[in-house]
Amino acid sequence: MKILRFSNFLLLLSLAGVGVSCSDKCEETYHYVYYEPIYSTSAAIKAAVKQEGAKPLSQIGRIYFKDGFLFINEAGEGIHIIDNRNPAAPQNISFLAIPGNYDLAIRGNTLYADSYVDLVAFDVTNLNDIKEVNRIENLFNNYQTLGRMVSTEQGILTHWEKRENVNVQQTECNAYYQPWGGIYYERGVAFLSNSFSAQAAIAPNPSATGIGGSMARFTIVGNHLYGLDGANIDIVNINTQTDPKAVKEFTLAWDIETLFPHNDKLFVGSQSGMYILNVSNPELPVQLSRYAHIQSCDPVVVEGDYAYVTLRSGTACQGFTNQLEVINISNLESPILERTYPMTNPHGLGIDNGTLFICDGNDGLKIYDASDINTISQNQLAHYSTIKAFDIIPYQNIAMMIGEDGLYQYNYANLQDIKLISTITISRPE
């Protein structure tokens, strides 16, 4: 089932509010590109969840590492499982098909993944025989926010189908013109044929918890899973791992994007800043502070007294800044910007014992000695400029990086001689 990621798209529409009614323009005809909402039943979506044989990586998403295995999200489709116990020769072993999946996290032998509006728990004790063991239905209730378009009687909104060369007759509409150049009404969404594009709008003796990349929207702290859901963070008690319980929805901000755990704190990246939450009482988060920056996409990682934030421009972010910011968080209630470094179009990043990895989009992977935050740009250790880098997990001298062309792994045991040791390439459909 091929889908489009449209949470930001729906948010954009909902933020537009009530536009200008077309009641005074109902005799006019406009040429539009029309996107029709397609719905599926909950039963059909559940029936499509299954483990399959290995398949080539195609549309990569988020990356997760656990006990020698990599779990790579295929955006909207499911999760590739890679045996990475020998990172010089990774083995693609199977694919867990999960319609509407974009995020995951693992605790013990249980993998948690979204499937449209549901949170699904899988037993991954045997990675050759993964079983669904539980499901919280309708947990992500902000997945569908545009009441005009979504009807529970029709099912779950799963994707949009483009209809070319549509003439929208306003004589038959209940439509509203919007600032983003289109209209929405009871039959779907339409855009002027030279304006906005829906595609562009759319972002196991096991250790306790795995490691996610900096672009993660799911994370686990102790016995609780936190997942971004619109302006909210959904909190799920996973003390009994195979029996997750939704306990709270914590409202933070409409533009939150990423989650990074550090001790009993959550660092939340947003398009307008970084939030620091105290989750020592896991079901009652407390906002300690907010570091504000100009509008821009914003993943964050933390080591010691510093948070490292990349800002990038892009359609979803509506910003024009591309840079690395180093923020002093020694006082969590008063974070202070220490240094700023220009970048090309940075996405995910990682830090390991003072070595900083930045996925700088089309400018590739950049690796720095960040032991002195004042001289980071002067201490570049390596630059792999021929790849488009998305996100990275550095762990025990192996940097696992996902990019537009596939999975790249680097051995950085010797920082003066960092080596590319393996790749798994992306297979693009013809």
Q: What is the pLDDT of residues 80-104, one digit of tens each?
A: 999 999 999 999 999 999 999 999 9
Quote the distance between the C-alpha of residue 330 and its chain's center. Answer: 28
Query: Quick one: pLDDT at residue 316?
Result: 52
Query: Quick one: pLDDT at residue 42?
Result: 86
CA torsion, ordered 180, 185, 188, 192, to nearest 10 deg: -40
Q: What is the DSSP string of 260-302?
A: EEETTEEEEEESSEEEEEE-SSTTS-EEEEEEE-SS-B--EEE
Is a pLDDT exceeding 50 seen at residue 141? Answer: yes
Query: Quick one: pLDDT at residue 396?
Result: 95
Query: Quick one: pLDDT at residue 146?
Result: 36
Query: Quick one: pLDDT at residue 199?
Result: 38
Residue from 72, 111, 120, 124 nearest 95 by CA: 72
Q: Which two tokens stand for residue 392?
A: 């990275």
Beta-bridge partners for 185 = 188
Query: Sign (positive/negative) of CA torsion 50, 51, 53, 57?
Result: positive
Query: Quick one: pLDDT at residue 60?
Result: 82
Average pLDDT over residues 306-330: 82
Residue with tokens 């079983």: 131
Average pLDDT over residues 300-320: 81
Is a pLDDT exceeding 50 seen at residue 26? Answer: no
Find out whether 211 and 105 touch, Cβ atoms under 8 Å. Answer: no
Average pLDDT over residues 155-184: 54
Average pLDDT over residues 127-132: 96
The enclosing H or E element of 305 equals none
Q: What is the pLDDT of residues 101-128, one digit of tens each?
A: 999 999 999 999 999 999 999 999 999 9
Neighbours of 342 (CB within 10 A): 10
Q: Which of 92-96, 191-195, 331-335, 415-419 has the lowest mean pLDDT?
A: 191-195
Q: Which two tokens stand for residue 285?
A: 């988060």
* Reported pTM: 0.82
Residue from 10, 205, 9 nearest 108 by CA: 205
Average pLDDT over residues 184-199: 45
pLDDT: which is higher, 179 or 278: 278
What's the rounded Cα separation, in Å, for the pair 60 and 79?
9
Q: Which of 99-113, 158-172, 224-238, 406-420 has the lowest mean pLDDT?
A: 158-172
Report the b/e string of 93-105 with b at 16+ CB within 10 A.
ebbbbbbbbbbbb
Query: Quick one: pLDDT at residue 2?
Result: 37
What's the rounded Cα separation, in Å, for the pair 139 and 86?
37
Q: Which of 35-44, 73-82, 164-173, 243-252 has the lowest mean pLDDT?
A: 164-173
As a whole-number percent, the residues of the chain with pLDDT over 70 amount to 75
Average pLDDT over residues 295-321: 79
Average pLDDT over residues 5-16: 40
Average pLDDT over residues 10-34: 44
Is a pLDDT exceeding 50 seen at residue 147? Answer: no
Q: Which two tokens stand for residue 318?
A: 């509506």
Query: Sign (positive/negative) of CA torsion 213, 214, 215, 216?
Result: positive
